[in-house]
Amino acid sequence: MSLRHRLALCIIGPLFLGQRPPCGAEELPLVSWQGQTMGTVYTVKIAGAALSEPQLEALQTEAEQRLAELNRQMSHYQPDSELSRFNRAPARVPFRVSAEFARVIRFALDICHRSGGAFDPTLAPVINAWGFGEKTSQRRVPSDTELQTAAGKTGWRHLTITPDDELVKDIPDLALNLGAVAKGFGADELARLLAGHGLTNIYVSIAGEVRVLGHNARKTRWRVGIAAPLEHWRENDPMAAALSLSDQAVSTSGDYQNFFRDPLGRRLCHIIDPRTSWPPQHDLAGVSVVAPDAMTADALATTLFVLGPEAGLRFIEGFENAVALFITRDPDGRFRQSPSSRFAEVTGYRP
């Protein structure tokens, strides 16, 4: 799908962390593999399952086929995908999509509505103008005229979906980019596929979108680390926080890893505020969302980063089943962590 980097994901994390088993306890068998999808790496870990080599190979093949199908539906890099063909389709002509694609769009439009437009899957022209999309990798500040032209081709209110799973746009150049939701959906689908084979202890990640079921090989909740929002995080760099999760998902969005600076020194990352057509300019460095599924966590993480720490905290408190950790950057370069009211209760959070 080459939905690269979460719209070009600018964080590395969450990452799997080890945890010592209870004293005297034996670890369960653990099998794992990695592969490429959506322009990034996906990881699968399965604990406590006695899988033969042929069974494991069959699971890997099925997982690859499932991810390939999601690419065929929602990639904005594949010219023959459903999404790419819709982007080229004329206005006011119903365009039939798969039931899964339709489900993702309905969910995305609901987040658009609830957030007052802080989330918008129709931002493709603006993302491309900044150099973070599929058109070019040259990052630069677009001119006011370029941004105004690009923004005139966007707007979630110009997109509707019929009960028959048909997408309709009412302006001709409206184009979708599902980089802030499709990887989460992909992680959910991989977990669902594996659970359908009777597996109960599962860890799945696609870049920064993680979905876990059951427990790890140490018979405890899966441990997931939130990377510190360093400009260029590396594997052995410190973590900002550790979470204990089971039957949950986590996603992180931030302004590091994938960004550039303009001549004024402003940090300009890949996440774009649909209301201004600019990367947000606030002190929020990263935000991690824990929710029952990765699609929800994925979309909310992007939304909260756009909203910023104050409005984002108010917004997430309105969700019964989602919590968030905000990491802001102080003027002296240090980081400050602000969890939502139930974050520690839900995640076992410790800084």
Structure tokens at 132: 């973070």
d(CA 176, CA 68): 19
d(CA 222, CA 216): 5
* Beta bridge partners of residue 44, listed in sequence order: 33, 204
d(CA 163, CA 192): 25
Least confident among 18-22, 61-65, 97-101, 184-188: 18-22
d(CA 226, CA 12): 9
Asked if 121 contacts 108 with a C-beta cutoff of 8 angstroms, the reply is: yes
pLDDT digits (tens, 9 = 90+) for 36-63: 999 899 999 999 998 999 999 999 999 9
pLDDT at 120: 98
Q: Is pLDDT of 257 > 90?
A: no
Average pLDDT, the chain: 90
d(CA 205, CA 209): 5
Neighbours of 141 (CB within 10 A): 18
195: nearest Cα among 206, 208, 182, 211: 211
pLDDT at 332: 84
The residue type at 214: G
Where do the domains of the chain lie? 76-169
Q: Is pLDDT of 3 > 70?
A: no
When pLDDT is averaged across residues 243-265 and rounded to a whole number, the result is 91
The residues, ordered by sequence, that sit 6+ positions from 80 with a Cβ below 8 Å of its Cβ are 72
pLDDT digits (tens, 9 = 90+) for 156-168: 999 999 999 999 9
Q: Provide the percentage of residues in the chain whose pLDDT is more than 90.
A: 78
Q: Is pLDDT of 19 > 80?
A: no
Structure tokens at 104: 């993702």
> Domain 76-169 belongs to what architecture?
Orthogonal Bundle (1.10)
The model's pTM: 0.91
Cis bond upstream, residue 14 (ω within 30): yes
The alpha-carbon radius of gyration of the chain (Å, integer) is 20
Sheet with 95-96, edge to edge strand ranges: 95-96, 166-169, 159-161
Q: Is pLDDT of 135 > 90?
A: no
